[in-house]
Amino acid sequence: MSKSWRIKYHLYRLFWLGVDLLYPPICGGCEKKGERWCEDCRKTLTLISGPKCSICGLPEMKDEPCFSCQQSPPFYKTLRSWVVFEGPVRKAVHRIKYRQDLGLGDALATEMQDYAGQLKWDIDIVVPVPLGKKRFRERGYNQVGLFAHPLALAQEWIYAPHALKRVRETVSQVGLSADERENNVRSAFVANHNKVAGKKVLVIDDVSTTGATLNSCAEALIKGGAQEVYALSLARALPHHGLKTV
């Protein structure tokens, strides 16, 4: 890491370490006192390893495009997810989204660093999946940015939260079928041409189930002039979990 990026990243981390000194944290996965992500919860993580679709990242028998991606190729080049959306990780994601545990995002970004680095993607800018205006007013922050920003700093990627915006309010994806999810987010995003034209863009979300939201974002980015788009999520809800787990 270059000196300037190292300084930016350490200043960001020092801020949250200072917050933890003033307000002792509890684990986002089990609520044990003392740290934001404890060793016990760390041991429960299920990494998405082994053969997977080379495009959408779902587990497969071989590292090659799955039938779905062959029939309807997504707009992103590759989608990868760090861990399976279950147990403490699921609790942590909900805690960030609904209980305003803002510092937990930095803790999870720290855990994701090695995985993100191993992908060896050539990235110009990082874009979080944006919230709609209504949901942003209600929540007061974009939960994806809480771990996308420090992750970008750690990997020396330029963080560009305003390069993509949601132009149509959508309902929650929870409980929707795969087709309903796709229809729900279709044409919901628009990219800023001045920020993405000619760039290799990484779009990040907290949880991916069918990949519909990330694909809709990727479509908007490509239409906005992006050279290519990669997609990354903190966690992945696998098919055997059904579509109602997020």
Q: Decide if 124 is inside a domain.
A: yes
- In this prediction the pTM is 0.91
Q: Decide if 90 is inside a domain.
A: yes
Q: Decide if 36 is inside a domain.
A: yes
- Locate 232 and state its tokens: 């990354």
d(CA 13, CA 26): 17
- Is 39 strand, coil or helix? helix
Q: Decide if 14 is inside a domain.
A: yes
The full DSSP string for 86-102 is -HHHHHHHHHHHHS--T
Q: Decide if 163 is inside a domain.
A: yes
Give the model confidence (pLDDT) of 118-137 as tens digits: 999 999 999 999 999 999 99
Q: Decide if 13 is inside a domain.
A: yes
Range of the domain at 237: 3-241
Q: For residue 241, name the pLDDT band (cuts at 50, 70, 90).
A: very low
Q: For residue 218, name the pLDDT band (cuts at 50, 70, 90).
A: very high
Count of CB atoms situated within 10 Å of the CB of 24: 10
Give the model confidence (pLDDT) of 32-74 as tens digits: 999 999 999 999 999 998 899 999 999 988 899 999 999 999 9
Whole-number pLDDT of residue 177 = 78
d(CA 158, CA 144): 15
Mean residue pLDDT across the chain: 91
d(CA 228, CA 59): 23
Domains in the chain: how many in total? 1
- Is 215 strand, coil or helix? helix
Mean pLDDT of 103-116: 94
Q: Decide if 73 is inside a domain.
A: yes
- Locate 86 and state its tokens: 């279950």
Q: Report the CATH number that the domain containing residue 84 is assigned in CATH.
A: 3.40.50
Q: Decide if 246 is inside a domain.
A: no
- Is 80 strand, coil or helix? strand
